[in-house]
Amino acid sequence: PNYEENRGWFHPTVLNKLVVLKGLIWEEELKVRDTLALAFFSILRDCSSLPMRKPYTYIADNVKPKPEDIVERDVLKIYLEKSKKLTAGRVAYEEQCTELMREQGISPQEFNQWLVVKKADARHLSEEISSTVDCVVTSPPYMGVTDNAGAHRLWYLWHDFGSTLQEDKMLEIGPRWKRKKQNLEQEYIEDMSKSLQQIVAVLKDGGYLCLIIGEPQRAKADILQEIVSLARKRLDLDVCRTYRRTIHKKWFAHPTGGVSVEHIAVFQRS
DNA sequence: CGGGCACCAGTCCTATGCGA
DNA sequence: TCGCATAGGACTGGTGCCCG
């Protein structure tokens, strides 16, 4: 881990415990390592000295605790709770997979060929999978709402994900840190346009795209209309249905901004 | 059954950097 | 030095769940 930077976020005792914990997890056999590693990453925020009562977008900005605010946390307790939940989730998933294999009468080897996980920028998808996909379901970033890289800033201190936080931050579509930029909307629509072009390219003829789009109240333009007209005019997509749902602000009531409306749009490649 | 507290695709304000 | 644009920091407050 990056000790120098981590000392600004974690109590020394917490830091030592996390180092030992990570060592133990990474020695585990592959079958369980990923689940436990996910638990490890997801407890970093709670083990840090950041105040507990903060919205998650808050850590998107660089708010390192002051030295006098560094506090100790019960690493083992937090880890055990999290890993228990995630392991239960994994077991339930495995049971569903087993059931599916039995229903379909296929072997685990065949089943594994159904599932491929790849990491890629939606604006530059692989040509290998061109015209092979039946359906794409995606919830792209809402414009100017969240810094997804920054919200995981602590993860980058513990693992090399192949790119730096700064690099990933610059690649994000419509991030929170650009929320005051005058051409935010233009940039967002351009990036969404690139992504949609790539999605259309991987879809089979007649394949479907389901898009979930948030409508930030501060947005000047009608984001859904922009996307729909883009899909109609410049891409080979027909609009099948659009649903509109209002977000009930039961957790967080604000008189002005926020995301109050979400659209679910279903397109078909013509 | 009621008080406290975690939760939240939050907002608002100001320091900073840069060009004229 | 001023004005503008942006990055970063400080902070709200209602709802439901949990626990005594």
Q: What is the pLDDT of residues A29-66, one digit of tens each?
A: 988 898 889 889 888 888 888 776 566 666 666 677 77
In whole angstroms, B15 C1' to A63 CA is: 15
Domain locations along chain A: 3-114, 127-144+179-269
Contact status, residue A140 vs residue A193, Cβ threshold 8 Å: no
Which residues in window 165-224 of A are less than 7 A from strand B by Cβ?
212, 214, 216-218
- CA angle at A62 for the pair A178 and A217, rounded to the nearest 5°: 35
Q: What is the pLDDT of residues A67-123, one digit of tens each?
A: 777 888 888 888 888 888 888 778 888 888 899 999 999 999 998 888 888 888 888
Q: What is the pLDDT of residues A190-246, one digit of tens each?
A: 889 999 999 999 999 999 999 988 877 667 778 888 888 888 888 989 999 888 877
| Size (chain A), residues | 270
Tell me which of 3.40.50.300, 3.40.50.150, 2.60.120.380, 1.10.287.130 is the CATH number of domain A127-144+179-269: 3.40.50.150
> Is the CB of residue A256 inside 7 Å of nucleic acid strand C?
no
Q: What is the largest CA-CA distance in chain A?
A: 61
Which residues does residue A208 pair with via DSSP β-bridges, in sequence order?
A135, A268
Return contacts of A10-19, CB within 8 angstroms, 24+ apart: A10/A47, A10/A48, A10/A49, A10/A70, A11/A49, A11/A70, A11/A71, A11/A72, A11/A73, A13/A72, A14/A47, A14/A48, A14/A72, A14/A73, A14/A75, A17/A75, A17/A76, A18/A44, A18/A47, A18/A75, A18/A158
> Is the CB of residue A181 inside 7 Å of nucleic acid strand C?
yes
- CA angle at A113 for the pair A168 and A236, rounded to the nearest 5°: 60
Looking at the C1' of nucleotide B6, which residue has the nearest alpha carbon? A53
> Is the CB of residue A56 inside 7 Å of nucleic acid strand C?
no
